[in-house]
Structures are given as structure tokens and as C-alpha cells.
Amino acid sequence: MSLTDGEPFEQGAIKCEKPCPTATPNPKARGCDKMDGEVMSMRSVGIVGLGSYVPEKVLTNFDLEKIVETSDEWITTRTGIKERRVAAAHETTTTMAIEAAKSALDDAGVSANEVDLIIVATVTPDYFFPSTACQVQHAIGAPNAAAFDLLVGCTGFVYGVVTACQFVQTGAANCALVIGSETLTRIVDWTDRKTCVLFGDGAGAAVVAPVPEGRGLLAFDLGSDGSGGPLLKAEALQSCCEMPTSVGLNGRPTIYMNGNEVFKFAVRVMADSTIAALQKAGLTVDQVDLIVPHQANIRIIDAAARRLGVPMDKIFVNLDRYGNTSAASIPIAMDEAKRSGRMKEGDIVVATSFGAGLSWATFVMRM
């Protein structure tokens, strides 16, 4: 089943009653009022700032050779991953989310006071409650913000951006922070070589706000297929669950994954979802400047690129340094792409992801 309401927006079709920040050519200069739930009109909205945070501690493939029966050669050729970051004792999903959020606000030139919505996508929250988003709200000093967590899996950041865009596009919010933050190394079974080599920790964030007409979100494609749930999971409360157990060491929940099935699903869905979103935007693959895919496995990205007929130089890859950071992977990659000059103002950018659920999510944006 697929959600298909991501048609191209009729930007500016309805006239704003209030002075519209869209009219401001420099997105950094527009104001962000307190969220009051009032729906104004459709306006252009996009990402106006990006930030990220990764832990200092690096775990290389050679380090992993000492933990499980594996090799740098196997991990590199099967996944493309060379190293990943591991959170230190003082680093958590929340602390990393806070640092990424501050960095994104700084990049956007927006103060925390102006933020009226915070969404944190994570599958590794420090607590069931309070939400990570509420802790971020307090830590960054955003008194005007509504805040909630989004649990979708690796697609969480893209789902979060699309959700935030709906709020800002309608005028229900003016300035949203969307954060993907994960400490996956804390739910990895370090005796399972099939999964422990894949994951890493980190956080990325985006500020979503009104942008000049013609810029910002052009279309999206979100979807889910819960029948694939047992292929990729970590249990929370082991209650009435028919799925086989994934509880690992010391009774802690750990990641279970059917790698081969997820691989096939990922290749198919990343290409199909990208094409679906581009069609809704009225664009072809050739018009795309950069694709930022979920960073899970270079072979998945390669295969999806071939299916799309896109050369690899149009695809941003940093999984060699971070592994799979789930909901954090796309915002970390987008932040790096921007800071390194690979993603520039005016570029047509596709962010596409697959993950637990199973789920998939793609947005097309003119930066």
C-alpha cells in the first residue's frame, strides 16, 4: 500500500492573508512566529539549514575483526563500509540530537526561540517517554515549539521532513526542526556478524521553513508494507508478538534482520519510490542534480542507481565512514553534501530511503 498524496503543489494558488515569509528572498531573513494552529494557505517550504553530529570514537573493520569472525575484505566488498562511529558513555540519542539541532539552527541563521515544531525521528530513543523531541526542546531553549518523536525506522527523517513541510506549508507552523538521531550500536548484538558490522551512531538535523516560490519541496512519495515487518526488527515490549524473538544478550532487545530479503526490497523500492516522486514533481531523472540515498550498503545504492539509469557521480555516498545510522543517515549525508559543495542552492535534490516497517520515503526538493 502506498500513500500517494505527494502531487506537485499549487504554490501561491491561494493568497496569504498574513504577510508571507515566502516573499523574503533570503530565507535566513524571514521571521518565524509562534505556532498557533491556524491554517493560512499553501506556500513554498523547504530545508533552509542543515547540521550534524557524530561521535569521535571510530570503530574500523579491523577493530571488528577482533570482536567477531569477519574481515575488512568481507565487510568492504559486501557493504562498502570501512568504519563507523560509536557513541561514548556520555553521548546518547538525545545529546547528539541536541548538537545536530544547534548546528542546523546556526546554518539557517534561526534562533531556537523561532522554532515552533520539533520532530525527532529515531528508533533508539533514550526513553519511551519523555520523547527525545521534548528533551531537545528544553535543551536548545525553544519555548514556542510543539515537539514529538517519529518512529518509522531508517525512513524516519524523510517522513519527518515531509510531515514538517505540511505544517509549514499550511501556515500551521513557521519554522520546524527535523532531527534524525540514533545510537544503534546500543541495540546491536555484538556476537552477530551479519548485523553488527553494518550500523553506527550519529545525528543530523534540518530546519524547515518557508522559501521563495519555486524552491523547496516539489513532491514526495511515502509508503509502507507491514507484511514485511518480521524481516527487520527490534522488540520493545515482548508482549503478544507472533514474530520470532530478537532479544539478544542480557535480555536487551537487539536488531534482527533478514539481510537478503531486505536487500531485494531496498533495491526495488528506492528506485520505484524515486521515480514515483519525480513523476509527481513533473521531473525526469536527468533533471536531478544529486540523489542522497539512505546509507545502508553500497551494493544496494549501486543496484538502485543502475535501475534508475543514474551515474554514481550524481549520488552522494558517505557510508564508508559512518555505516548505517538509520534515521540519521540522510541528514548527515545532506549536511556533508552541502558543506562540501556537492549540494548547492538551486539544485534539484532527491532524498530516498527504505527501512523497517517495511517502509519507504522519498522527497524531491529544489534547494
Q: What residues are annotated to the active site? A: 154, 294, 324
Q: If binding is defined by CB under 6 A, does position 268 make contact with ligand ACO?
A: no
The answer to whether residues 126 and 132 touch, using CB atoms and an 8 Å cutoff, is yes
- Residue 324 binds to ligand ACO (criterion: CB under 6 A): yes
Q: How far is residue 340's CA from residue 126's CA, in Å, rounded to a whole number?
A: 31
For residue 193, state whether it binds ligand ACO (rule: CB under 6 A): yes
Contacts of ligand ACO in 10-69 (CB under 6 A): none
Whether omega for the bond prior to residue 130 falls within 30 degrees of 0, making it cis, is: yes
Between residues 137 and 324, which has the closer beta carbon with respect to ligand ACO?
Answer: 324
Q: Is 209 in the site for ligand ACO (CB under 6 A)?
A: no
Give the span between the Cα atoms of 135 and 94, in whole angstroms: 7
Task: Give CA–CA dist 155/228, Å, rounded.
Answer: 15
Q: What is the Cα–Cα distance from 210 to 218, expressed in whole angstroms?
A: 13
Span 68-97, contacts to ligand ACO by CB under 6 A:
70, 74-75, 78-79
The CB-of-324 to ligand ACO minimum distance in angstroms stands at 5
Establish if 362 lies at the interface with ligand ACO (CB under 6 A): no
With contact defined as beta carbons under 8 Å apart, do 327 and 154 qualify?
Answer: yes
- With contacts defined by CB under 6 A, how many residues of the chain interact with ligand ACO? 25
Interaction between residue 197 and ligand ACO (CB under 6 A): yes
- Name which position in 50, 112, 209, 232 contacts ligand ACO (CB under 6 A): 232
Residue from 194, 268, 314, 321 touching ligand ACO (CB under 6 A): that is 194
- In terms of CB distance, is 257 or 308 closer to ligand ACO? 257
SS3 58: strand
**How open is the CA angle 339-27-98, to the nearest 5 degrees?**
55
Which residues, at least 6 apart from 314, have a Cβ–Cβ distance to it below 8 Å? 288, 289, 290, 291
59 three-class SS: strand
Among residues 11, 76, 323, which one has the least CA distance to residue 196?
323
- Cα–Cα distance for residue pair 215/82, rounded to 1 Å: 36
Using CB under 6 A, pick the residue from 140, 262, 303, 367 that binds ligand ACO: 262
Stretch that binds ligand ACO, among 165-173, 258-266, 273-281, 339-347 (CB under 6 A): 258-266
Residues numbered 293 to 322 that lie near ligand ACO (CB under 6 A) are: 294, 296-297, 300
Give the DSSP letter string of 172-227: S-S-EEEEEEEEGGGSS-TT-HHHHTTB-EEEEEEEEEE--TT-EEEEEEEEE-GG
Q: Which three cell numbers stand for residue 106?
A: 546556526
CB of 201 to ligand ACO, least distance (A): 14
Judged by CB under 6 A, which of 46, 49, 153, 248 binds ligand ACO?
153
Q: Which of 154, 175, 179, 304 binds ligand ACO (CB under 6 A)?
A: 154
- Given candidates 66, 90, 260, 286, which one binds ligand ACO under the rule CB under 6 A? 260
Residues in contact with ligand ACO by CB under 6 A are 70, 74-75, 78-79, 153-154, 193-194, 197, 232, 257, 259-260, 262-263, 266, 294, 296-297, 300, 324, 326, 355-356
